[in-house]
Chain A
Amino acid sequence: MTETLLKIEGLHKRFGGVVASDDINLDVRSGELHAIIGPNGAGKTTLIAQLSGEIAPDAGHIYFDGRDITGLATPACSALGLARSFQITSLFLDFTALANAAFAVQPNLGHSFHFWSDARNDPALVAPALAALSRVGLQNRAHAEVSSLSHGEQRQLELAMALANNPRLLLLDEPMAGLGPEESARMVAMLRELKREFPILLVEHDMEAVFALADRITVLVYGRVIASGDPVSIRANESVREAYLGEQDEEFVDG
């Protein structure tokens, strides 16, 4: 029942002397949440950027649903159903939350060379956009301008946009970044809902969240996978504790 939706083979990427991705192999199966953890500078965001077509890898292959998508441009990756949320909130600040979500709905409806009818109240755009906002609990803020939303609300909107984008797999780059404990807990609950519906590749710093959500965890250090497995085995893994979690040991064990 579990087919492999996303498969990464031997991914290499270097920037000058820095190896950001060093022979990375991993996959995401349907129905699972695969978390990627690692210290700062481990190459997590670079990995996401390669998966979403923003950066081309130097070597290796990325397969999505059996198709080789290595080096495919960003819009094409998105059109296949790889929806990405950004670590550093990347929204359309001078538009309303609803308009932001509607932007993400629009590419699902084919090309946008429609020059005449008003898109602002087009039900084909507005209805799915509102639905996506409701899913993340932002329906009451639909008409607020994004620059006036709180940081937490902007993080929710990030997620709503990925959902509105007709995803088949979610690439979430630190959705909890900058959230308070309460907001984080809400986000975890939301992701737990979502993972029933979408396979998710989650990059996250928040250990508590990762261990609460992940079916599998891959640990990245200096661009290299040092361990991969279910949460229990990762928790017990000696090299992970050494490489990554020295000072966080306690939280890690209890987490």
Chain B
Amino acid sequence: MKTWLTPRNFVVAALIAFLLLLPLYTSSTGNYFLLSLFTRIVILAMAATSLNLILGYGGMVSFGHAVYLGVGGYTIGILAYEGVYSGWLQWPLAIALSALVALIIGVLSLRTRGVYFIMITLAFAQMIYYVALALDRYGGDDGLTIHRRSQFGDWFNLNNKTLFYYVCVVFLLGTVYLVYRLVNSRFGRVVQGSRSNDRRMRAIGFATFRYKLVCFVIAGTLCGIAGALLANHTDFVSPSMMHWTRSGDLIVMVVLGGMGSIFGPLIGAFVFLALEELLSSITEYWQILLGPLLLLVVLYARGGIDGMLSRWRRD
């Protein structure tokens, strides 16, 4: 029988326990820098988890996933700038717009595959990046400061750092669970089958395009929510949040943690951002150190850190 006590599950459980208990430490010591760092990690882990849905399970290598961070974030930022602070208005709109952008990008790019798919998603992301750059009214290149976070009523104040952190954690764990249900449902089986052998999937009777498109839209929408969280976290949006290097970071998190594994992106985001923080305190050129590490993982740890942990037991 399968045992639940594997190194992988232990690491995941420890990670989740750590995330849940962190505020106890930070509020007792007043170390809000650490809380802020982990709020960012949690939000980007959610974005990476959404990317994993299409990249790891669907085989759709989107090189423009950060664009939804921007769409979600800018929806919050622009509405706040125009004096609309109600979260009940901002959030549904952020969700709807991310879904719409994902639908448009998906309809056009899912007709291609392989390198062409990578390039076309990148091209769309760059297009929207330059649109944000050209939004002079909303700060253009300099970005836009958000003076008030989304308002959900007096009893739910996102300015409370600990509360906001927990909101992000709930969204992250909710996303992870949603992805878990999705990929094992009939819908998810079609998406996974299409990654494995799209031609055969069509031959046995699935019009795979529409399944992939719905999957693409779900992933974009989830990432849009992460963008809305990120905007509230930093009280600031700028085009750089959807720069193509940010899309690259998300891919790195997924690959590092383990493509097509439920908790892989969480582990990947944690390790990537923690390394970024640590290495950048050592040297300004921290990417020189990160690069070789990544190379090692890609070359020697198929399935990323998650795959490494899963194999550990068998040896």
Listed in ascending order, the chain A residues whose CB lies under 8 Å from chain B are 52, 54, 73-76, 78-79, 83-84, 86, 90-95, 102-104, 106-109, 112-120, 122, 125, 161, 165
Which of B1-9, B28-36, B202-210, B292-300 forms contacts with chain A? B202-210
Kindly name the residue among B202, B205, B211 whose own CB sees the greatest number of chain A CB atoms within 10 A.
Answer: B205
Say how far A221's CB is from chain B's closest CB, in angstroms.
27
Name B residues whose Cβ lies closer than 8 Å to a Cβ of A: 181-182, 184-190, 192-193, 196-197, 199-208, 211, 214
Are B205 and A115 closer than 8 Å at their CB atoms?
A: no
Residues in B neighbouring A74, C-beta threshold 8 A: 202-203
B200 contacts A90, C-beta separation under 8 Å: yes
Q: Which one, B185, B187, B204, contacts A104 given CB within 8 A?
A: B204
Chain A neighbourhood of B205, CB < 8 A: 75, 78-79, 107-108, 165
**Which B residue sits closest to A89, measured CB to CB?**
B200
CB-based contact A78/B189 at 8 Å? no
Which of B181, B185, B196, B211 is in CB contact (< 8 Å) with A93? B196
Q: Which residue of A lies closest to B188 (CB)?
A: A119
Given contacts A92-B193, A94-B196, A95-B196, contact A115 B203 (CB under 8 A): no
Assuming the contacts A103-B189, A116-B181, A120-B184, asked whether A75 and B214 have C-beta atoms less than 8 A apart, the reply is no
A45 to B: closest C-beta gap in Å: 13
In the complex, are the beta carbons of B185 and A106 less than 8 A apart? no
| B214–A113 touching, CB < 8 Å | yes
Q: Which residue of B lies closest to A158 (CB)?
A: B200
By the criterion CB–CB under 8 Å, are B203 and A106 in contact? no
Q: Which residue of B lies closest to A122 (CB)?
A: B186
Q: Could you tell me if A115 and B197 are in contact, using CB atoms closer than 8 angstroms?
A: no
Given contacts A75-B206, A91-B200, A93-B196, 6 further A-B contacts (CB under 8 A): A74-B202, A90-B200, A103-B200, A106-B206, A107-B206, A120-B189
Cross-chain pairs A/B with CB under 8 angstroms, 16 sampled: A74-B203, A78-B205, A94-B196, A103-B193, A103-B204, A106-B186, A107-B206, A112-B186, A112-B189, A112-B206, A112-B211, A114-B185, A115-B185, A115-B188, A117-B185, A120-B189
Number of A-B contacts (CB under 8 A): 90
| Nearest CB in chain A: distance from B209 CB, A | 9
| The one of B189, B196, B214 that contacts A119, using a Cβ cutoff of 8 Å | B189
Q: A93-B196, A113-B187 are in contact. Are A161 and B204 (CB under 8 A)?
A: yes
CA separation between A35 and B290, bound complex, in Å? 60
> A90-B197, A94-B196 are known contacts. Are A52 and B203 too (CB-CB below 8 A)?
yes
Closest to B180 in A: A118
| Contact indicator B201/A115 (Cβ below 8 Å) | no
Q: Are B204 and A78 in contact (CB under 8 A)?
A: yes
Please judge, given known A-B contacts A90-B197, A95-B196, A112-B211, whether A119 and B184 are in contact too, CB under 8 Å: yes
Bound-complex Cα distance A75 to B184 (A): 22
CB atoms of A115 and B187 under 8 A apart: yes
Q: Can you name the residue of chain B whose Cβ is closest to the Cβ of A108? A: B205
Q: Indicate if the CB atoms of A114 and B204 lie closer than 8 Å.
A: no
Residues in A neighbouring B185, C-beta threshold 8 A: 114-119
Tell me, rounded to whole Å, the shortest Cβ–Cβ distance linking A126 to chain B: 12
B204 partner residues in chain A, CB cutoff 8 A:
78, 83, 103-104, 107, 161, 165
- Decide: B189 and A92 in contact? CB cutoff 8 A: no
A194 CA / B202 CA spacing, docked (Å)? 24
Provide the residues of chain A in CB contact with B189, threshold 8 Å: 102-103, 106, 112, 119-120
Q: Give CA–CA (A107, B208) in the complex, Å.
A: 11
> Once the chains are docked, how many angstroms separate the CA of A113 from the CA of B190?
9
CA distance A104 to B206 in the complex (A): 9
A92 → chain B, closest Cβ, in Å?
4
| Residues of chain B lying within 8 A (CB to CB) of residue A84 | 203
Residue of A nearest to B193 (CB): A103
Which chain B residues border A52 with CB–CB below 8 Å?
A: 203
CA distance in complex: A74, B285 (Å): 52
Residues in A with CB closer than 8 Å to B199 are 90
Q: Are B203 and A114 in contact (CB under 8 A)?
A: no
Q: Among the interface residues B193, B208, B214, which one has the most CB atoms of the partner chain A within 10 A? A: B193
> Considering the chains assembled together, what is the distance between the CA atoms of A151 and B138 in angstroms?
62
What residues of B have a CB within 8 angstroms of the CB of A116 in the complex?
181, 185
A230 to chain B, nearest CB (A): 31
**In the assembly, what is the distance between CA of A78 and CA of B204, in Å?**
6
A54 — which chain B residues lie within 8 A by C-beta?
A: 203
Query: Chain B nearest CB: distance from A10 CB in Å?
Result: 25
CA distance A60 to B111 in the complex (A): 28
- Tell me the smallest distance from the CB of A94 to a CB of chain B, in Å: 6
Q: What's the Cα separation between A139 and B26 when bound, in Å?
A: 56
How far, in Å, is A146 (CB) from chain B's closest CB?
10
Give the 5 A-B CB pairs with smallest separation, nearest first.
A107-B205, A78-B205, A112-B186, A92-B196, A114-B186
The listed residue with most A CB atoms (<10 A of its CB), out of B201, B204, B211, is B204
Please determine whether B197 and A119 come into contact, CB atoms closer than 8 angstroms.
no
B196 touches A106 (CB 8 A): no
Chain B nearest Cβ from A108, distance in angstroms: 8
B190 to chain A, nearest CB (A): 5
